[in-house]
């Protein structure tokens, strides 16, 4: 995406047959001076367009309303457009699957109805983007740490070592429960350490629920794009601190999915 002033959008160019055969997929809300790249494509490889209303606009593309949405490629295209835009302009993401009948519906059912709300939110997001700070425990290291800290876990581990699974099922279950509870406590502590480390950069933080047993940290933050180098340094410092214990990863910039709830159009 690029920013261009005095951009106008023609919403009347489709003939009646095309309108009947197409729906309009809406990705997100942006300032009206955002202009898609000429070769930008979204869902089903359709060209990205912009529909404007005053100082705000919607990023859209035509889709076949009879074609099923929800494939991995569709989800990736949705995120690609929003995240790419976040590099150059504030963007309010719509949830995946927002489809209206035509471009007039984009204006009347979405932009005009929420004009002031969208404009205010875009102003607040100017210069900011979301980043994800992710950490994954190194399995061998964290299990060893838990066992060393818990005598009962150590005893259970010794009791099942080199023994048939069918003869040690109860001990294995008990050990798994100890490890699971210990991971919950360590995850809470390590997430707190991460949030504290990030606090000089931002206080706008959302802690995500783990999606895997070995997830150590899942934190979304809203940070000024100009401070990305500082953010990278902070995450790098945590990675060095937790070397061979937690593998750290920074993802972004991306659209502020965790911090913006955008109404879905009724169409």
Locate 34 and state its tokens.
């955002």
At residue 266, the pLDDT reads: 62
Low-confidence residues of the chain, pLDDT below 50? Answer: 1-20
User: Burial code of 238-255, b = ≥16 C-beta within 10 A, e = fewer?
Assistant: bbeebeebbebebebbbb
The predicted pLDDT at position 15 comes to: 43
> Which pLDDT does position 228 carry in this prediction?
95
Residue 53 neighbours by CB distance under 10 Å: 21
> Helices 139-149 and 169-198 sit at what angle, rounded to 10 degrees?
110
**The two structure tokens encoding residue 144:** 């060893």
Q: How far apart are CA 154 and CA 157, in angstroms?
A: 5
Secondary structure element (H or E) that encloses residue 197, with its range:
helix 169-198
Of 33, 117, 43, give the one whose Cα is nearest residue 75. Answer: 43
Mention every residue, 6+ apart, whose C-beta is less than 8 A from residue 230: 201
Phi-psi map region of 172: left, alpha, beta (phi>0 left; psi -120 to 50 alpha) = alpha
Confidence (pLDDT) at 2: 42
Report pLDDT for 202. Answer: 93
This prediction's pTM = 0.80
HSE toward the beta carbon, residue 24, CA cutoff 13 A: 25
């Amino acid at each position: 995406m690029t920013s261009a002033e005095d951009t106008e959008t023609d919403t009347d160019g489709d003939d009646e047959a095309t309108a009947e055969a197409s729906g309009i997929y809406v990705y997100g809300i942006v300032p009206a001076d955002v202009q898609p790249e000429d070769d930008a494509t979204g869902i089903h490889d359709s060209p990205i367009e912009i529909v404007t209303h005053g100082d705000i606009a919607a990023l859209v593309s035509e889709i076949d309303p009879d074609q099923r949405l929800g494939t991995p490629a569709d989800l990736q295209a949705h995120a690609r457009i929003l995240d790419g835009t976040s590099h150059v302009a504030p963007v309010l993401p719509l949830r995946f699957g927002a489809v209206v009948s035509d471009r007039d519906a984009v204006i009347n059912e979405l932009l005009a109805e929420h004009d002031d709300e969208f404009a205010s939110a875009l102003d607040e997001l100017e210069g900011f983007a979301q980043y994800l700070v992710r950490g994954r425990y190194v399995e061998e290291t964290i299990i060893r740490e838990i066992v060393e800290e818990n005598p009962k876990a150590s005893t259970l581990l010794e009791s099942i070592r080199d023994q048939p699974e069918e003869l040690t099922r109860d001990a294995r279950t008990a050990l798994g429960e100890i490890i699971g509870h210990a991971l919950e406590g360590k995850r809470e502590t390590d997430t707190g350490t991460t949030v504290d480390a990030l606090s000089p950069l931002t206080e706008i933080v959302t802690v995500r629920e783990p999606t895997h047993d070995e997830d150590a940290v899942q934190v979304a933050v809203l940070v000024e794009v100009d401070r990305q180098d500082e953010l990278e340094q902070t995450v790098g410092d945590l990675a060095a601190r937790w070397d061979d214990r937690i593998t750290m990863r920074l993802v972004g910039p991306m659209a502020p999915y965790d911090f913006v709830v955008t109404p879905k159009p009724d169409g």
